[in-house]
Amino acid sequence: MPDLFTSGFLTALVVGGLVAGVPLLFAGLGEIIAEASGVLNVGLEGMMLAGAFIGFVATLLTQNVWFGLAAGAVAGLLLSLVMVLFCIRLGLDQIVVGVAIVLTVEGATAVLHATLYGESYPRLDAAPRFAIPFLSDLPVLGGSLFTQPVIVYLGFILVGVVAWVLRSTSVGLHLRAAGEQPASLDAAGVDVVRIRSVAEMVCGALAGLGGAYLAIVGAGTFVPFVTNGMGFIAIVIAMLARGRAWWSVIGAFLFGMSLSLTTALQLVGIDVPVDVVQMLPFVSVIVVLVIFARDARLPSALGLPYLRGSR
Amino acid sequence: MTSPLTSPEAVVDVAPPTTRGAGLGDALVRSLGPIALALITCGALLAIVGRDPFAFYSDILQAGLLRPSGLQDSITRMAPILLVAAGMIVAFRAGMWNLGSDGQYLLAAACVAGTAPSVLAAVPAPLGWLVLGLVGMVVGASWTIVPAWLRARYGLNEIVTTLMMSFVGSGLANLLVKGPFDGPSTVPQTAVVDPSLLLFDLPGTRIHIGVIVALIAVATIYWVFSRTSFGMRIDVLGANARAAQHVGIRVSRLIIVTFLLSGALMGLAAAVDMLGIFGYMRADWNPAYGLKVVPLVFLARLNALAVIPFAAFFSVLSIGGEYAARRAQLPSDFLLLVIGLVLTFMVVTQYLTDKRDRGEPILPRRKAGMARA
């Protein structure tokens, strides 16, 4: 029986889980915001994929990680404008439009990748890392845990900011009201459509950022369908989070751990088939859903368009 | 808790149009309009990436429709498409978004392909087909139990659960093909069924009788929804779950039954593919019919008979598209782009025709026009 509790195993598991979960942290956080405001963004997977592709291309062209991440966020934001126009402004079905976004982006990125990089398959340099003074000197996990690309730290700070905005500001209150009782919010003189549009755009930008991270920092390259269902997991995380932003950290970390478990197990000499690895996150999500089914809750106006004067 | 989400049935207007003439013209605009717009947009995109769109589309027509072998391939391809579409229609009309058909299909395919050689060696072929068809249906149906139960018991949104189960199902299918069902060949794939034991072809063609099975299934589903109280109950559930409860329909049980039926049809699609064309399953093989069939059933407005021409269109597109994409040195994922755009334009067309039917101006009203309450 190999020793599971060596520092190498722990480092691979915890740090690997953290890094692998960051794309999901951003996307989940975005979806939490969108769902709180009453928009179910099924197109999240497509927005992540678009962010991954555009972010990768931008980094390749400029050789600047920050520019790539920003480009990915912009790509996600532009795609979210489709949802804003069709679903929030015109009140069309959010699920159908979401599925359409996923299909279109999957096709478009695969075709563009094949035409642009089908022969060269370029790779990016490793993203620069930043060691937090003192913390990175801590024994066992300190060195690897606190020496990460800056965007990782920013992600965690962002979670805190979003949690605060949702809980303690009037913007957060309006956002939650738009998801629970849009008519009341409208009666109180707040523009529901505007609140939801902003929430959806933030969600798109965060999903694009998460996708860009996946391609630029995580994989160092873009392959078609790289998100592999991550966007849908983010939706589950948002469902379980019930508007609590901190849950995106927990969900992303658990997801990342189930991905990094393989690498960690390989380090101590246990080989796991690749199919098991790819299934594991989804299995854990299903198990979590079965256990916490009664706790999963969606805002009461989720998925329903708000058009003033109708119904 | 009931999920507040819109049901698929709410997306399209399932009720028949009131005036027949206007209804037909409308139906044509609503169904052919999005397809035409998507093809035009994709043609423009092809031109942008430096391919000749006219050559591309004529390749699709040639390889998918005009060549006799292509036509036969296209008709054969309709079998799984029709069955998956039928499975979606059953679920969607109940208001259940079963988006996990890929996992249900793949797992059933792995089990059918894995057991087919021994089953067909043990019993006469027609009996073996029946048994294997049942295997596929049971496996496909079993993969919907968890989402169906979570939805029926806790009202947990079935979109995400079916999708999660789909990813697990395709992984499990791979494990099965690489593990217990791995055949004698060096590549990870199931043992190949002797071609003489596969489904009969229609006389004088390479089209297997699975297509007939699919057409019968589609016709049966149409009959269920137009003539039986069971279909009626599903429609009531899809229109309004609370109303269904009030008229005495056992909603939880009906949700589970429709999910099982939907999954069984996905599994049958897999069995027909395995026994009709392939005779084996290779690891990592995934036709991914799932999301691509969604636009077809919506274009057919969840009408099981109306889905036949759209399935035919899609089959030509996919058989011809594989050839055209290869010639244009593009991945066959190009098809996803076409289908995604069809869905997008369908929603827009539906919106515009609905607006026109209500006598409203087509363009969105300007803000100033909306009086503040």
Give the model's confidence band at B362: pLDDT under 50 very low, under 70 low, under 90 confident, else very high.
low
Residues 126-185 (A) with a CB less than 8 A from some CB of B: none
Q: Which residue of B has its CA nearest to A117?
A: B330
Residue A130 has pLDDT above 70, yes or no: no
According to DSSP H, which parts of chain B are helical? Answer: 8-11, 20-48, 53-61, 68-93, 101-122, 125-142, 145-154, 158-178, 210-227, 229-239, 241-246, 251-273, 289-299, 307-327, 334-357
DSSP codes, B168-222: HHHHHHHHHHHTTTB-SSSSSBBPPPPGGGSPPBPTTSS-BTHHHHHHHHHHHHH
> How many angstroms separate the CA atoms of B28 and B238, rounded?
25
Shortest alpha-carbon distance between residue B156 and chain A (Å): 7
> How many angstroms separate the CA atoms of B323 and B210, rounded?
24
> How many angstroms separate the CA atoms of B136 and B213, rounded?
14
Cα B68 to Cα A135, B65, B229, B308, B368, distances in angstroms: 71, 7, 43, 20, 59
- Do the chains contact at B5 and A108, CB–CB below 8 Å? no
What 3-state DSSP class applies to B282?
Answer: strand
Q: Enumerate residues 6+ apart whose C-beta is below 8 A from A256.
A: A16, A17, A18, A19, A20, A21, A22, A24
Q: Which residue range is the domain that position A238 belongs to?
A: 19-124+131-138+145-292
Give the ipTM of the model, two decimals please. Answer: 0.86
Interchain CB contact of A223 with B (< 8 Å)? no
> How many angstroms separate the CA atoms of A69 and A152, rounded?
12
Side chain identity, residue B332:
S
Tokens of A92: 């069309």
The more confidently predicted of residues A33 and B16 is A33
From the CB of residue B214, how many other CB atoms can be counted at a distance below 10 Å?
26
Shortest alpha-carbon distance between residue A235 and chain B (Å): 7
Interchain CB contact of A27 with B (< 8 Å)? no
Q: Is residue A297 part of a domain?
A: no
Cα B234 to Cα A270, B100, B219, B254, distances in angstroms: 49, 20, 17, 7
B39, B57 Cβ separation under 8 angstroms = yes
For the residues B255-272, what does the mean pLDDT come to?
A: 97
- Do the chains contact at B168 and A283, CB–CB below 8 Å? yes
pLDDT for B12: 61
For the residues B202-217, what does the mean pLDDT come to?
A: 93
Q: How many whole angstroms from its chain centre is CA A269? A: 32
> How many angstroms separate the CA atoms of A157 and A163, rounded?
10
Q: What is the 3-state secondary structure (H, E, C) of A43-86?
A: CHHHHHHHHHHHHHHHHHHHCCHHHHHHHHHHHHHHHHHHHHHH
Give the model's confidence band at B126: pLDDT under 50 very low, under 70 low, under 90 confident, else very high.
very high
The more confidently predicted of residues A260 and B151 is B151
Q: Enumerate residues 6+ apart whose C-beta is below 8 A from A235.
A: A31, A35, A40, A41, A42, A44, B159, B160
> How many angstroms separate the CA atoms of A145 and A19, rounded?
9
Look up tokens 């009959």; give the residue: B223
pTM: 0.89
pLDDT for B361: 66
Look up tokens 């295997």; give the residue: B135
Give the model's confidence band at B252: pLDDT under 50 very low, under 70 low, under 90 confident, else very high.
very high
Interchain CB contact of B351 with A (< 8 Å)? yes
pLDDT for A1: 44
Look up tokens 């002797």; give the residue: B194
Interface test with A, best of B144, B170, B175, B333 (most A CBs within 10 A): B333
> How many angstroms separate the CA atoms of A186 and B372, rounded?
10
- CA neighbor of B275 nearest in space, from B165, B141, B132: B132
Quote the percentage of chain A above a pLDDT of 70: 88
For B46-58, write each residue's pLDDT tens digit.
999 889 999 999 9
DSSP codes, chain A: ---TTSHHHHHHHHHHHHHHHHHHHHHHHHHHHHHHTT---TTHHHHHHHHHHHHHHHHHHH--HHHHHHHHHHHHHHHHHHHIIIIIIS---HHHHHHHHHHHHHHHHHHHHHHHHTTT---PPPPP-EEPTTGGGSTTTHHHHTEE-HHHHHHHHHHHHHHHHHHHSHHHHHHHHHHH-HHHHHHTT--HHHHHHHHHHHHHHHHHHHHHHIIIIIISS--TTTTTTHHHHHHHHHHHHTT-TTHHHHHHHHHHHHHHHHHHHHHTT----HHHHHHHHHHHHHHHHHHSGGG----TTTT----TT--
- CA neighbor of B110 nearest in space, from B37, B188, B58: B188
Interchain CB contact of A89 with B (< 8 Å)? yes
Chain B residues with CB-CB distance to A228 below 8 A: 167
For the residues B192-208, what does the mean pLDDT come to?
A: 89
Interchain CB contact of B4 with A (< 8 Å)? yes
For the residues A294-300, what does the mean pLDDT come to?
A: 69
> How many angstroms separate the CA atoms of B321 and B123, rounded?
39
The more confidently predicted of residues A137 and A278 is A278
Residues 63-82 (A) with a CB less than 8 A from some CB of B: 82
pLDDT for B92: 95
Triad B142, B273, B96: Cα angle to 5°: 40
User: What is the rounded (10 degree) CA torsion for B261, B267, B269, B274?
Assistant: -160
Interchain CB contact of B49 with A (< 8 Å)? yes
Nearest to A282 among B164, B175, B333 (CB): B164
The DSSP call for residue B52 is -
The DSSP call for residue B367 is G
Interchain CB contact of B65 with A (< 8 Å)? no
Q: Enumerate residues 6+ apart whose C-beta is below 8 A from B240.
A: none
- CA neighbor of A238 nearest in space, from A17, A16, A44, A52: A44
Chain A residues with CB-CB distance to B6 below 8 A: 93-95, 303-304
For the residues B350-364, what does the mean pLDDT come to?
A: 74
Q: Enumerate residues 6+ apart whose C-beta is below 8 A from B236.
A: B243, B244, B247, B249
For the residues A134-150, what does the mean pLDDT come to?
A: 67
The DSSP call for residue B16 is P
For A30-42, write each residue's pLDDT tens digit.
999 999 998 988 8
Shortest alpha-carbon distance between residue B98 and chain A (Å): 12
> How many angstroms separate the CA atoms of B5 and A279, rounded?
27
**Domain coordinates in residue numbering, chain B:** 79-291
Separation of first and last alpha carbons in chain A:
65
Q: Is residue A60 part of a domain?
A: yes
> How many angstroms separate the CA atoms of B147 and B150, rounded?
5
Give the model's confidence band at A74: pLDDT under 50 very low, under 70 low, under 90 confident, else very high.
very high
Mean pLDDT computed over every residue of chain A: 85
Tokens of B66: 């005009």
Interchain CB contact of B317 with A (< 8 Å)? no
Q: Enumerate residues 6+ apart whose C-beta is below 8 A from A168.
A: none
Of the listed ranges A113-117, A227-231, B23-27, B100-104, the one predicted with least confidence: B23-27
What is the Cβ-side half-sphere exposure of residue A158, based on CA atoms within 13 angstroms?
A: 23
pLDDT for A140: 60
- Do the chains contact at A239 and B6, CB–CB below 8 Å? no
Interface test with B, best of A103, A223, A233, A280 (most B CBs within 10 A): A103
From the CB of residue A212, how many other CB atoms can be counted at a distance below 10 Å?
35
For the residues A63-78, what does the mean pLDDT come to?
A: 95
Of the listed ranges A38-52, B12-26, B288-302, the one predicted with least confidence: B12-26
pLDDT for B6: 60
Chain A residues with CB-CB distance to B159 below 8 A: 42, 95, 235
> How many angstroms separate the CA atoms of B361 and A30, rounded?
35
Number of domains in chain A: 1
For residue A219, give the CATH number of its domain: 1.10.3470.10
> How many angstroms separate the CA atoms of A275 and B188, rounded?
13
Interchain CB contact of B156 with A (< 8 Å)? yes
pLDDT for B246: 92
For A189-210, write each residue's pLDDT tens digit.
899 999 999 999 999 999 999 9
Interchain CB contact of A104 with B (< 8 Å)? yes
pLDDT for B22: 57
Torsion sign, CA atoms B154, B156, B158, B163:
negative
Give the model's confidence band at B165: pLDDT under 50 very low, under 70 low, under 90 confident, else very high.
very high
Residues 29-68 (A) with a CB less than 8 A from some CB of B: 40, 42
Side chain identity, residue A92:
L
Q: Is residue A311 part of a domain?
A: no
pLDDT for B19: 45
